């Protein structure tokens, strides 16, 4: 058994008592070891011994990405480097990397959180787990490796890329579970069909997907094409990588947060005030057990909501919904707020195209112009220019009707958009900054 029933099914009272104790230990630790945090805590009037109750969380200072990049590489590290046994890093999409240092204990906790995740997806000792998350500095590969190894299943560390070989190994080894980004799962599904070895004819039954935004539409596409159950999981380098939250295969509607390790809050990103359960806002996370680089109230910029309801799996851990966008990838197109994920979910309703698309935003005179390149299915493309123009107009009208914005749709020839092997690039914003 690799789930921790004591913590995953804890009563709310016990959990909150535990969280408060660990939070206060972390506050004292940061106060003593990390000068920039000591300053932040002093400025906020927080004593090294911490706070009296979790309701006072709001008085703690936030941590933002700039705190990490400003202290790059080790300014927020709370232990000497000789106690750091692993360094991961995320290049992020913008500029300087974020450092992810771990002590031996941090690594052990990460493994535990990942084992819970892999177990909750239904993976067991007898499974063959193909780990197609990129191995290396990116936390996805090593994180899943550690968790799956802890479960005792057979781990195949393929890393991402070399898609045809992935498929051959999947067949030869009899892979039953696969882990990768959802966009790479689609790339694999498509290539497998092309080489006449559709994944649905193989033994794979469950997918562990995460590390990038994806819609329900994309989930059903992956499930249909691969003949599997797809689960979602979430994490970020700043909080130690994947293992922050994971779906249980029983419900597959929202990700349980490992709350004995991470305290989650949702705030309004403008007023910074906390929002109640069920309301969408920015996810804020506090790591309460890490020691190399615990962060207080880290503003993730990811938009979601929290729910605390009885789950069929028996876990009492709060659930976060799928990420509906990031405060920083929201596009403002002539004053209208647009999330790429909204466009993605609408494309699923157009049977003539694949969910392979690229959004390019440009400035034309004083107006923003949203160009959407989307791949036509072969039959549609081969039907000729009239059909292509008809479908492009259909998509434009459909998006206009629902989102209220005009989109310049270009139907691309089949298999011409670049396929993802890791995190997909869906948006290019060419407007002058």
Residues of this chain that interact with ligand AMP (CB under 6 A) are 90, 92, 139, 210-213, 232-234, 236-237, 300, 302, 323, 326
Q: How far is CA 342 from the centre of its chain?
A: 17
Minimal distance in Å, beta carbon 213 to ligand AMP?
4
The partner residues of 408 in beta bridges, in order of sequence, read: 371
For the bound state, the minimum distance from the C-beta of residue 385 to ligand AMP, rounded and expressed in Å, comes to 37
d(CA 221, CA 183): 11
CB 274 within 8 A of CB 289: no
213 binds, among Zn ion, ligand AMP, none (CB under 5 to 8 A by kind): ligand AMP
- The Cβ of residue 273 has, within 10 Å, a number of other Cβ atoms equal to 9
For Zn ion, the binding residues (CB under 5 A) are 248, 251, 311, 313, 315
Q: Which is nearer to ligand AMP, 159 or 376 (CB)?
A: 159
Minimum Å gap between C-beta 139 and ligand AMP is 6
Closer of 311 and 350 to Zn ion (Cβ): 311
Exposed, middle or buried by CB within 10 Å (0-12, 13-18, 19+), for 95?
A: exposed
Measured from the CB atom, the residue of 167 and 206 that comes closer to ligand AMP is: 206
Min dist. Cβ of residue 181 to ligand AMP (A): 9
232 binds, among ligand AMP, Zn ion, none (CB under 5 to 8 A by kind): ligand AMP
DSSP state of 333: E
What's the closest the beta carbon of residue 310 comes to ligand AMP, in angstroms? Answer: 23
Residue 308 Cβ vs Zn ion, minimum distance, rounded to whole Å: 12
**C-beta closer to Zn ion: residue 252 or 348:** 252
Q: Pick the closer one to ligand AMP by CB: 206 or 236.
A: 236
Binding partner of residue 248 among ligand AMP, Zn ion, none, CB under 5 to 8 Å per kind?
A: Zn ion
> Residue 51 and residue 21: Cα distance in Å, rounded?
10
From the list Zn ion, ligand AMP, none, which binds 40 (C-beta under 5 to 8 Å, kind-based)? none
Give Cα separations from 9 to 14, 249, 318, 392, 421 (angstroms).
10, 16, 10, 50, 36
Answer with the entry of ligand AMP, Zn ion, none that 212 interacts with (C-beta below 5 to 8 A by kind).
ligand AMP
Closest distance to Zn ion from the beta carbon of 4 (Å): 14
Distances from the Cα of 413 to the Cα of 194, 378, 388, angstroms: 16, 8, 10
Q: Which does 421 bind (CB under 5 to 8 A by kind): ligand AMP, Zn ion, none?
A: none
What's the CA gap between 293 and 287, in Å, rounded? 9
| Residue placing its CB nearer to ligand AMP in the complex, 50 or 254 | 254
Q: Which residue has the tokens 């002590």?
A: 103
Cis peptide before 368 (omega within 30 of 0): no
Q: Which does 219 bind (CB under 5 to 8 A by kind): Zn ion, ligand AMP, none?
A: none
Half-sphere exposure for 246 (CA within 13 Å, toward CB): 30
Q: Say how many CA atoms lie within 13 Å of 145 toward its Cβ.
A: 15
The tokens for 259 are 């709350």
Of residues 10 and 118, the one with the C-beta less far from ligand AMP: 118
CB of 421 to ligand AMP, least distance (A): 15
d(CA 420, CA 356): 10
| Three-state secondary-structure class, residue 32 | helix
Which residues on neighbouring strands pair with residue 298, listed in sequence order?
63, 285
Sign, CA torsion 340/346/351/352: negative
Select 37 or 209, whichever has its Cβ closest to ligand AMP.
209
Task: Report the residue number, 3 or 246, with the smaller CB distance to ligand AMP.
Answer: 246
Select the binding partner of residue 237 from ligand AMP, Zn ion, none (C-beta < 5 to 8 A, by kind): ligand AMP
Q: Are 8 and 256 in contact (CB under 8 A)?
A: yes
What is the smallest separation between the CB atom of 248 and ligand AMP, expressed in angstroms? 14
The span from the CA of 350 to the CA of 22, in Å, is 49
Nearest-angstrom CA–CA distance, 282 and 64: 12
User: Binding partner of residue 311 among ligand AMP, Zn ion, none, CB under 5 to 8 Å per kind?
Assistant: Zn ion
């Amino acid at each position: 058994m690799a789930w921790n029933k004591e913590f995953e099914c804890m009563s709310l009272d016990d959990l909150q008592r535990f969280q408060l104790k660990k939070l206060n230990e972390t506050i004292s630790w940061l106060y003593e070891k990390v000068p920039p945090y000591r300053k932040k805590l002093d400025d906020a009037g927080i004593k090294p011994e911490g706070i009296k109750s979790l309701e006072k969380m709001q008085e703690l200072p936030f941590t933002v990405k700039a705190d990490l990049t400003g202290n790059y590489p080790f300014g927020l590290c709370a232990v000497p480097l000789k106690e750091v046994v692993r360094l991961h890093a995320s290049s992020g999409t913008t500029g300087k990397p974020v450092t992810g240092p771990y002590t031996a204990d941090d690594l052990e906790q990460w493994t535990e959180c990942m084992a819970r995740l892999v177990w909750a997806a239904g993976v067991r000792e007898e499974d063959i787990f193909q780990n197609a998350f990129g191995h290396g500095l990116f936390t996805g590969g090593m994180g899943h490796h550690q968790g799956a190894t802890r479960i005792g299943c057979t781990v195949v560390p393929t890393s991402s890329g070399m898609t045809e070989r992935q498929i051959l190994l999947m067949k030869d080894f009899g892979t039953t579970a696969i882990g990768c980004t959802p966009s790479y799962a689609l790339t694999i599904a498509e290539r497998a069909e092309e080489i006449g070895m559709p994944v649905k004819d193989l033994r794979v039954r469950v997918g562990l997907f995460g590390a990038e935004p994806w819609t329900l539409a994309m989930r059903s596409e992956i499930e249909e094409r691969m003949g599997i159950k797809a689960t979602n999981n979430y994490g970020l380098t700043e909080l130690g990588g994947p293992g922050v939250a994971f779906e249980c295969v029983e419900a597959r509607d929202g990700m349980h947060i490992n709350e004995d390790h991470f305290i989650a809050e949702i705030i309004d990103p403008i007023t910074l005030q906390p929002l109640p359960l069920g309301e969408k806002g920015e996810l804020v996370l506090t790591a309460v057990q890490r020691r190399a680089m615990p962060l207080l109230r880290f503003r993730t910029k990811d938009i979601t909501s929290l729910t605390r309801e009885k789950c069929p799996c028996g876990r009492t851990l709060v659930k976060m919904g799928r990420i509906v966008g990031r405060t920083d990838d929201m596009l403002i197109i002539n004053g209208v707020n647009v999330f790429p994920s909204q466009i993605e979910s609408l494309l699923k309703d157009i049977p003539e195209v694949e969910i392979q698309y690229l959004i390019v935003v440009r400035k034309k005179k004083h107006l923003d112009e949203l160009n959407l390149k989307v791949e036509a299915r072969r039959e549609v493309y081969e039907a000729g220019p009239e059909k292509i123009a008809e479908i492009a107009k259909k998509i434009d009208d459909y998006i206009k009707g629902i989102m209220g914005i005009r989109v310049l749709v270009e139907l691309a020839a089949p298999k011409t958009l670049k396929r993802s092997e890791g995190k997909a690039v869906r948006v290019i914003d060419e407007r002058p900054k």
